[in-house]
Amino acid sequence: MLRIHDTRAGQVVPVQFGRLVRIYTCGPAVHRRAHVGDLRTYVLSDLVRRVLERRRARVLACQDITDLGHPTDYADAFRADATALNIRPPEHEPRASENVEPVVELIARLVERGHAYAAPDGSVFFDVRTFPGYGELSQLEEPRPADWALWEPGDGEAAWDSPWGRGFPGPHVACSAMSLRFLGPAVDLHLGGIDRRFPHHEDERAQSDAVTGHEVVRHWVHGERLLFDGREMAESAGNVVLLSDVTAAGLDPLAVRMAFLEHHYRRPLDLTWDTLRAADGTLRRWRSRVAEWAESPSAPMAAGHVERVESALGDDLDTPAALRVLRELERDESVAPGAKLEAFLHVDQVLGLDLPIDIGKAPTLPSGQTWM
């Protein structure tokens, strides 16, 4: 059982799942390099996946690359950052530019069903009045927003033919088309940052539900914003921190993941260099302790502590509580080193911090000292 906060329901709810869980996560913006604030969403998605797999579910994940009209491609850089953060790749990673045909088909079906209309200039708009549930995800109050473009007229390299003339998809419709194509008409969890809730996810929900005639997404899950030194990250403000900046400062990239885990995903996080250095210190200390414990006789896992960690993770992904249990276990002298080792290795399969990476490595001496 996993309990998680459902944005539309406005409360923590149990997620009932079978052997297969379908997860969709909106991909990063491809017109710029993803910063550490962007990466918080994908660590959240990876954590959900790992928790579900620990509960013996098979996860089918889809994460799009919305590259329409953006010739600059940072997708490879994003994948490298994701790998450095131990984010497992999704089974499907479709590009919007390679899925325009399903987009056109979806728009045509919306027009046919009376949820969309064509304008004289070749644009096609979603008729928000035909979807009474619009605004429930964002708790919008009246008046309702204006209709949004599903197809926009245009020409050039980033344009395609359609029944309404040459042009390109609107900003939200590709996610609906790719989600339906690769996961089908039933998505268990849709994840994203809270800033994507409106209008992107609200519009996506309306498009998908209107074209299928039923509610496609069972649970919407949103992670909170990340600030750095008290400010929103923006290139215009010169306040963007990349993962490469973290490594250039001599910190392990997984210190970023550790810093994220130290804070609940539904709480805004004000990241600082001091926060990252503290996370890096904890990470290195735990790796050292795990390597030290590996030299001791084997012992059964500290099951009581592990059960408490897994209970915290199952209760709306309470990672701060889970890490507190691990700190308690680290200090508990009544638990054998071998039992601590097995517990940390077991839990790390969910946390993804590479805690056993120093096992078997020769210890290092302070500068100027030698073994002989």
Q: What is the pLDDT of residues 63-115, one digit of tens each?
A: 998 888 665 678 888 999 999 999 999 999 999 989 999 999 999 999 999 99
Judge if the upstream peptide bond of residue 132 is cis by omega within 30 degrees of 0: no
Residues in contact with 274: Cβ distance below 8 Å, sequence separation at least 6, in sequence order: none
On the 0-12 / 13-18 / 19+ scale of CB atoms within 10 A, 231 is exposed
124 has pLDDT over 90? yes
Q: How far is CA 311 from the centre of its chain?
A: 21
- Report residue 156's pLDDT band, with 50, 70 and 90 as the boundaries: confident
- Measured at the CA of 348, the angle between CA 224 and CA 316, to 5 degrees, comes to 35
φ and ψ at residue 225, rounded to 5 degrees: -70, 160
**Cβ contact 166:159 at 8 Å:** yes
Q: What is the pLDDT of residues 227-275, one digit of tens each?
A: 999 998 877 667 889 999 999 999 999 999 999 999 999 999 999 999 9
Which of these, 73, 45, 43, 38, lies nearest to 59 by C-alpha position?
A: 45
Report the C-alpha gap between 145 and 202 in whole angstroms.
11
Q: Do residues 350 and 51 lie in contact, with contact meaning Cβ atoms separated by under 8 Å?
A: yes
Q: HEC states along 112-166?
A: HCCCEEECCCCCEEECHHHCCCCCCCCCCCCCCCCCEEEEEECCCCCCECCCCCC
Rounded to an integer, what distance in angstroms lies between the CA atom of residue 319 and that of residue 2?
13
d(CA 212, CA 226): 35
At 267 the pLDDT is: 97
The tokens describing 232, both together, are: 């929103």
- On the question of pLDDT at 120 being above 80, the answer is yes
Domains, the chain, with CATH or none: 2-223 (3.40.50.620), 246-353 (no CATH)
Find out whether 13 and 326 touch, Cβ atoms under 8 Å.
no
CA 284 to CA 48: how far, in whole Å?
25
The tokens describing 257, both together, are 């993941």
Nearest to 111 by CA among 150, 145, 166: 150
- d(Cα 113, Cα 325) in Å, to the nearest integer? 54
Looking at residue 233, its pLDDT comes to 82
Buried b (16+ CB within 10 A) or exposed e, 284-303: eebbebbbebbeeeebebbe
Prediction pTM value: 0.93
- Counting residues of the chain whose pLDDT is more than 70, the rounded percentage is 94
Task: Tally the C-alpha atoms within 13 A of residue 307's C-alpha that lie toward its C-beta.
Answer: 3
Q: Is the predicted pLDDT of residue 365 greater than 50, yes or no?
A: no
Residues whose CB is less than 8 angstroms from the CB of residue 298 and which lie 6 or more positions away in sequence, other chains included: 338, 341, 342
Q: Is 188 exposed, middle or buried (0-12, 13-18, 19+ CB in 10 A)?
A: buried
pLDDT at 143 over 70: no
The rounded distance, in Å, linking the Cα atoms of 171 and 189 is 21
Does the pLDDT at position 328 exceed 70?
yes
More confident: 301 or 142 = 301
How would residue 372 be classed by pLDDT, with cut points 50, 70 and 90? very low
